[in-house]
Amino acid sequence: MSVRVFVPTPLRPYVNGQDHVELPARTVGEALSALVAQYEKLRPHLFAEDGQLRSFVNVYVNDEDIRYLKREETTVRPGDSISIIPSIAGGAAGGSGGSGGGLHPGGSVGAPGSAHPEGATATLDIAPSLRFARNWEEVTLSPEEIRRYSRHLIMPEVGMEGQKKLKAARVLLLGAGGLGSPLGLVDFDVVEFSNLQRQILHGTKDVGRGKLESARERILDVNPGVEVELHGARLTSANALEILRDYDIIVDGTDNFPTRYLVNDACILLGKPNVYGSIFRFEGQASVFYAAEGPCYRCLYPEPPPPGLVPSCAEGGVLGVLPGLIGAIQTNETIKLILGQGRPLIGRLLLVDALKMRFREVRLRKDPACPVCGERPTIRELIDYEAFCGLPQAEEQARAEAGAVPEIDVHEFRRWVDEGRPIRVIDVREPYEWDIAHLDFARLIPLGQLPEHLRELDSAQEYVVHCRTGGRSAKAAALLRDAGFRKVWNLRGGIKAWAEEIDPSLPTY
């Protein structure tokens, strides 16, 4: 007599690494209460201090969002599954293509009520018709192109008409990664070694080059007929409408929350479909947000998570094949939208767990109160997305915390070590980071475990705390100071600065 609660990758560390937990419960509220009672460290990630479910955590019973059922009062039956679906922002970087569908007759926004509604759906069963910036009927294929695309041309779903649409379509890829027909790329980054493991557009020889040039070279090598337009800028509220305007479809492979919301809002204001993909470790999400036909990103996640709660790929890592997997799904959706074939991911969120190799999907509903695509939109132009996502405040907070704790740089720290000063060094990273590189004279206590180890530490001693780059150790230093430790120093730049400036034999990551 129990329900299964699926736990997403970012939250698994709080439930001993399990991907699901079986619990006896009659309602969603009971199940979640039982879950956080059993795993106390999970509580702050699901519930605010006032006991309310956090707004950026979406909870589903089977494939239904509880916001459209009876929220925590929603009844569950044995065998039901409850899914916790958090925001993840990691970029998939890959994609092109296109087709769409029309709204299913009778498709509507489901009313709150029954725990197991039938038929009330905003998903699309047929492809919507896409507005092309270029007239595809005027496009012709050369004999060489006919040879190149022969395996497409013999498919009834593509044919000559479809291939002309693919050639006419203008796809904008945000984050340099994919392939396409006339293809716009937006990126401002350079290729780093740590990118090569998953960003197959770039090779070892490209390290240090701009991603745009590297991507263009690779795409033109695959297909010289692709018109590649480069936009070497960070997408901002000031330039987004201008850049996105000329494209038929936007593929979002970006990696941070402010840009996700910016892309969403810009696509709605311009009436363009947004092919969404995001990744974290072994987990990916994909959907198509097309406000003309279904819900948008804000209907799913009205608010971003507080800064720092959801780690980025740079902090949390990502499996090398996952961008390819999710990027291929985005590409497939883009091609379907261009061809006007199939059933698009509009109104559905596809969840990919590559570790279990399980694909699930949940229904997305258009929120009538959505501030951008709802009945009475309040956002009619692009806003300050950094402020919306709370980033300046977070930086100030981090600075305030770091400022309150004295810092030393790696050169000073080295002098102390060389002098034999009686300092204790605590590394607050995770064990798998310690395995990559560590200081022999440091002791490993991951930040999350520091509170329970405080009693073993002597507050009369002098401490230097470090992590990878100094952020987590600033928190650790503040925690030690608040616990009565008076002589605590944060190592500025962390072990990365140590490796770069003091000991180049240490690997960096």
Interacting residues toward Zn ion by CB under 5 A: 296, 298-299, 370, 373
In terms of CB distance, is 124 or 467 closer to Zn ion?
A: 124
d(CA 321, CA 53): 33
Catalytic residue among 267, 296, 370, 467: 467
- Could you give the 3-state DSSP secondary structure of residue 69? coil
In terms of CB distance, is 109 or 190 closer to Zn ion?
A: 109
- Tell me which amino acid residue 219 is: I
Does residue 389 carry a catalytic annotation? Answer: no
Smallest distance from Zn ion to CB 17, Å? 34
Smallest distance from Zn ion to CB 373, Å? 3
d(CA 125, CA 105): 9
Q: Find where tokens 């092919």 sit.
A: 275
Smallest distance from Zn ion to CB 109, Å? 11
What's the distance, CA 457 to chain centroid? 38
In this chain, which residue has its C-beta nearest to Zn ion?
370
Does residue 296 carry a catalytic annotation? Answer: no
Smallest distance from Zn ion to CB 67, Å? 13
In terms of CB distance, is 371 or 471 closer to Zn ion?
A: 371
- Could you give the 3-state DSSP secondary structure of residue 278? strand
In terms of CB distance, is 6 or 297 closer to Zn ion?
A: 297
Q: 409: which DSSP letter? A: -
Smallest distance from Zn ion to CB 295, Å? 6
Catalytic residue among 296, 299, 313, 389: 313
In Å, what is the CA distance from 120 to each residue of 100, 283, 296? Answer: 21, 28, 18
The first and second tokens of residue 154, run together, are 């013999």
The first and second tokens of residue 440, run together, are 């022999």
**Residue (of 349, 323, 368) closest to 173 by Cα position:** 323
d(CA 37, CA 43): 8
Q: Are 125 and 101 in contact (CB under 8 A)?
A: yes
Residues contacting 149, CB < 8 A, separation 6+ = 141, 163
Smallest distance from Zn ion to CB 299, Å? 4
The first and second tokens of residue 105, run together, are 């007759």
Q: Are 175 and 253 in contact (CB under 8 A)?
A: yes
In terms of CB distance, is 296 or 476 closer to Zn ion?
A: 296
195 φ, ψ to 5°? -80, -30
In terms of CB distance, is 96 or 285 closer to Zn ion?
A: 285
Q: Are 374 and 368 in contact (CB under 8 A)?
A: yes
Smallest distance from Zn ion to CB 346, Å? 12
The first and second tokens of residue 296, run together, are 């948008």
Per the DSSP assignment, residues forming a β-bridge with 5 are: 21, 82
In terms of CB distance, is 373 or 405 closer to Zn ion?
A: 373
Q: Which residues are catalytic?
A: 313, 467
